[in-house]
């Protein structure tokens, strides 16, 4: 630039420099949007972690030295007050205890509904074998646990896993 340029030419050159910088700012904004999109997807995937079990504030799990992490399966939670399937109330503990026989009707109805929503692998005999995780309080009466297991088995949820708290082996 020479010092003999008119103010009009100088003003025009400044305006052109500003226009060039504005184009670069748009690219920075696009990169920032890309970063936030990736962060959003990452957080969504992390929040849907399959090894995460439901809130266990009402339960005391039995201790175990098991090292295997839980799979993503249907979850039946048996507290000292109620039975829940995927955090949905299906029966009270009093109903479960009062049930005659081995099958809890309301739990059976819910499991049939859940089974109808997804296909299951068949075993050698052609019987569907779905997986289920049972989370039960350590003070749960065995008679109730037995009814829950029998109801699951009756409804093609034969592969049962039990949630436990990781703890040391006691001698």
Rounded to an integer, the average pLDDT of 145-150 is 89
Any idea what DSSP says for residue 128?
B
Per-residue pLDDT tens for 45-61?
Answer: 777 655 555 556 666 66
The more confidently predicted of residues 99 and 64 is 99
The more confidently predicted of residues 95 and 167 is 95
Q: Are 106 and 113 in contact (CB under 8 A)?
A: no
Question: Ramachandran region of residue 36, left (φ > 0), alpha (ψ -120 to 50) or beta?
Answer: alpha
Q: What is the pTM of this model?
A: 0.57
Q: Is the pLDDT of residue 171 over 50?
A: no
Is 166 in a helix, a strand, or coil? strand
Within its chain, how far is the Cα of 72 from the centroid? 7
N- to C-terminal Cα distance for the chain? 89
Cα–Cα distance for residue pair 42/68, rounded to 1 Å: 25
Parse the chain into domains and list their residue ranges: 1-48, 63-166
Instruction: Name residue 27's beta-bridge partners.
Output: none
Average pLDDT, the chain: 78
The more confidently predicted of residues 66 and 18 is 18
Instruction: Name residue 45's beta-bridge partners.
Output: none
Q: Are 144 and 102 in contact (CB under 8 A)?
A: no
Question: Ramachandran region of residue 87, left (φ > 0), alpha (ψ -120 to 50) or beta?
Answer: left
Determine the Cα angle at 68 with ends 114 and 137, to 5°.
60
What values do phi and psi take at 137, rounded to 5? Answer: -65, 145
Q: How confident is the model at residue 119, as a pLDDT?
A: 74
What values do phi and psi take at 38, rounded to 5? Answer: -60, -40
């Amino acid at each position: 630039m020479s010092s003999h340029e008119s103010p009009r030419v100088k003003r025009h050159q400044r305006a052109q420099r500003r226009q060039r910088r504005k184009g670069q700012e748009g690219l920075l904004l696009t990169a920032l949007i890309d970063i936030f999109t990736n962060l959003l997807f990452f957080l969504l995937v992390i929040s849907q972690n399959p090894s995460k079990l439901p809130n266990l504030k009402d339960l005391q799990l039995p201790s175990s030295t098991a090292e295997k992490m839980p799979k993503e399966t249907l979850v039946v939670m048996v507290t000292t007050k109620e039975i829940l399937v995927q955090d949905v109330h299906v029966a009270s503990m009093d109903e479960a205890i009062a049930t005659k026989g081995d099958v809890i009707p309301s739990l059976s109805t819910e499991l049939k509904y859940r089974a109808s929503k997804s296909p299951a692998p068949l075993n050698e005999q052609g019987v569907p074998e779905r997986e289920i995780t049972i989370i039960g309080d350590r003070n749960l009466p065995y008679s109730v646990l037995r009814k829950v297991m029998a109801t699951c088995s009756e409804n093609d949820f034969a592969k049962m896993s039990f949630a436990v708290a990781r703890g040391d082996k006691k001698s």
